[in-house]
């Protein structure tokens, strides 16, 4: 179970451009690591576009945004291009990152249970420790909450 103060689990993944991404390569930066269920769906688009619109303010705080969903690289690339997202999106097709961060969970809809991503955001400080966890995220207004949290670090 990840808690505030825990070391952030390592990430070795493929980004939206098909390139390797390692969390360790970004040590020294604040990282906003947000998990979302599916690219190009209403809630996920709202959340991504709010992060896009807050990108300058987030960058000013020496922070980067990284999105993660189980979608394949090509779908992540289309999503990024369609909405002009200025940040990295990781393809977590095998759910390894989601599982490491504890966001691959049993969900239910219309009486049916299934495994999926619980919309969650982690703020990782410059030293690689979890500084803040946002669970059960509501997409609208979330980027402003995250920006306030990183400004407080």
Q: Which residues are catalytic?
A: 44
CA 34 to chain centroid:
2
What is d(CA 99, CA 103) in angstroms, rounded to the nearest whole number? 6
Output the DSSP codes for 120-139.
EEEEE-TTSBEEEEE-S--S
What is d(CA 53, CA 45) in angstroms, rounded to the nearest whole number? 12
What is d(CA 149, CA 26) in angstroms, rounded to the nearest whole number? 19
What is d(CA 111, CA 76) in angstroms, rounded to the nearest whole number? 29
Which helix (DSSP H) or strand (DSSP E) does residue 74 occupy? helix 73-83
CB 34 within 8 A of CB 101: no
């Amino acid at each position: 179970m990840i808690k505030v103060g825990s070391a952030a689990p390592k990430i070795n993944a493929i980004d939206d451009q098909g390139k390797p991404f390692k969390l360790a390569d970004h040590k020294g930066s604040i990282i906003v690591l947000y998990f979302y269920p599916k690219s190009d769906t209403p809630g996920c688009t709202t959340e991504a576009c709010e992060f896009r619109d807050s990108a300058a303010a987030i960058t000013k705080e020496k922070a980067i945004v990284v999105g993660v969903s189980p979608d394949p690289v090509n779908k992540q690339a289309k999503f990024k291009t369609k909405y002009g997202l200025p940040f990295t999106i990781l393809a977590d097709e095998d759910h390894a990152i989601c599982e490491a961060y504890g966001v691959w969970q049993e969900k239910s809809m219309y009486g049916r249970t299934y495994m999926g991503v619980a919309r969650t955001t982690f703020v990782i400080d410059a030293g690689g420790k979890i500084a803040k966890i946002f669970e059960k995220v509501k997409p609208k207004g979330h980027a402003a909450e995250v920006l306030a949290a990183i400004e407080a670090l």
